[in-house]
Structure 1
Amino acid sequence: MSAAVLRTEDLVVGYGGRPVLEGFSFELRPNEVLCLIGHNGAGKSTLLKTLFGLIPYQGGKVFRDDAVLGAIDPRAQSASGVSLVPEGRGVFKGLTVAETFQLSMWSANIPRSDRPDRLEWVMSILPALKTFYQQRAGTLSGGQQQIVSIGRALLIKPRCMLLDEPSIGLAPKLFQDLLYPLRDLQKSTGMSILLVEQNVKEALKIADRVIVLKSGVLVKEALPAELSDNAKLMELY
């Protein structure tokens, strides 16, 4: 069996001496969509930020491809093919989409000669980008900004994508229009996706596996079909 793309053992992460994640162990396997659900404040976003290197961890271990990572560096994670779509999109509102993408490709050390093909590939997945590519991100709707955020994460052709609450502020139809192309891409490329999402009903439709986080502790691992009953879900929250 192939090594997990990302894995933790007894992970401890906190702020100001207060643990948010405590003894948290999980694995993201190759070629799967793993959905992480839980109540607000359970530690879901903290986990994604820790895995990408935006928050230091205080205890336990983090592995990438079975290699132990010490202090996690976001640039090193990106170079290894791990990308993050942050909660709230994180776009630079004063930059055009074109400027944002050029900056992202420069930051990711994508060779200049490869950049046109890389842009074309991203736009083949998210064709709506073409319609507002020259606009400033601050003039875009919430849905358009989310497309920019996902497109930016795709520029490195990731083998692993961390998606943090992509449905926030989006109409259900627009969320579906974003989610299903990503699922198709994941199937065709073998990419792994760790999806944190409050819109559980839609997230379960594309997930291969589900883990449930409660107050910083993993309380259940299940297949999506096992959680199709709303009553079962409510018990876990």
Structure 2
Amino acid sequence: MTATSVSPLLAIRDLRAAYGKIEALKGVDLDIAPGEIVALIGANGAGKSTLMMTIFGRPKARTGQILFDGRDITGVPTHEIARLRIAQSPEGRRIFPRMSVAENLQMGADATDCSEAERRDGLDRVLALFPRLQERLTQRGGTLSGGEQQMLAIGRALMSRPRLLLLDEPSLGLAPLITRQIFDAIRTLNRQDGLTVLIVEQNANHALKLAHRAYVMVNGLITLRGTGAELLQRPEIRAAYLEGGRH
């Protein structure tokens, strides 16, 4: 699939955002077509997580546009963005540690106007994708392992039945086996359900192998774009992100 074959589900145009006087995004352009997995890679501090958060309304864009399915959502409050079926699994997971696994998952469904049938179906699908959560439904989220918490964070986002899933550093701090399980789950969601995914990931090798297309961000700007396979073969990408460079 290519971004030009159909109208983009998400289109970002000349997007700028800042923290006080520090400009974190300096005019970003990015497109995601329906059913694509798009990866965003770059060094720490490049602006990747800021882009994710700006899509979700915090921080608010200073200038530029964020279009979702043709609708301008620039400046729309976060809770309204969630109701459009955009979901985020943030960096650091940010689960509710004192709540049970089941309660954490229901919080994801509460972000949208899901019917009871949709809630039940969503829970069944999440537990089929991450069977380990089935065994821990009554367990407090804070007692889970790091990998289980990441599964819970993604599962919570999926409970809203998103059209677009934003994943920020899903493999951070995880063992290689768990990382593979997480990436296999993302691939399954895309292939079986057609879920559109934007993923920010420190592990550029995994991300580029997973993604249909990818963007490289440096100092708040997109500096390179192409298919995942194309970027994997570029010597500057290999030197910076795949051969001992910073992810």
Global fold match (TM > 0.5) = yes
Mapped partners of 1:97, 1:135: distance in 2: 6
TM-aligned CA deviation for residue 81 of structure 1:
1.5
Structure-to-structure mapping, 1:1-237, within 5 angstroms: 1-229=5-233, 231-233=235-237, 234=239
- RMSD over equivalenced CA pairs, Å: 1.7
Mapped partners of 2:117, 2:232: distance in 1: 47
SS of match in other structure, 1:12:
strand
Mapped partners of 2:111, 2:204: distance in 1: 34
TM-aligned CA deviation for residue 185 of structure 1:
1.5
Residues 226, 114 of structure 1: alpha-carbon distance in 2 compared, 3 angstrom cutoff: closer
TM-aligned CA deviation for residue 230 of structure 1:
7.5
What amino acid does structure 1 have at the position aligned with 2:145? S
SS of match in other structure, 1:228:
helix
TM-aligned CA deviation for residue 22 of structure 1:
0.7
Ranges of 4+ aligned residues in structure 1 off by more than 6 Å? none
TM-aligned CA deviation for residue 229 of structure 1:
4.2
1:119-174 CA distance string (max 9 Å, x none): 11211122221111110011111101000000001112211100000011101110
**TM-score with structure 2 length normalisation?**
0.90
Mapped partners of 1:69, 1:145: distance in 2: 30
Moved more, 170-179 or 109-118: 109-118
Residues 136, 43 of structure 1: alpha-carbon distance in 2 compared, 3 angstrom cutoff: same
- Is the contact between residue 122 and residue 158 of structure 2 (CA under 8 Å) also seen in structure 1? no
**TM-score with structure 1 length normalisation?**
0.94
- Is the contact between residue 100 and residue 140 of structure 2 (CA under 8 Å) also seen in structure 1? yes
Mapped partners of 1:79, 1:44: distance in 2: 23
Mapped partners of 2:118, 2:196: distance in 1: 23
Mapped partners of 2:6, 2:227: distance in 1: 20
What amino acid does structure 2 have at the position aligned with 1:17? K
Matched length: 237
Can you give the 5+ residue segments of structure 1 that lack an aligned partner in the other structure? none
SS of match in other structure, 1:105:
helix
Mapped partners of 2:232, 2:106: distance in 1: 42
- Is the contact between residue 51 and residue 72 of structure 1 (CA under 8 Å) also seen in structure 2? no
- Is the contact between residue 8 and residue 27 of structure 1 (CA under 8 Å) also seen in structure 2? yes
Residues 17, 121 of structure 1: alpha-carbon distance in 2 compared, 3 angstrom cutoff: same
Can you give the 5+ residue segments of structure 2 that lack an aligned partner in the other structure? none
TM-aligned CA deviation for residue 118 of structure 1:
2.0
Residues 206, 187 of structure 1: alpha-carbon distance in 2 compared, 3 angstrom cutoff: same
Mapped partners of 2:143, 2:234: distance in 1: 38
Residues 62, 114 of structure 1: alpha-carbon distance in 2 compared, 3 angstrom cutoff: closer
What amino acid does structure 1 have at the position aligned with 2:205? K
What amino acid does structure 1 have at the position aligned with 2:212? D
Mapped partners of 1:36, 1:114: distance in 2: 31
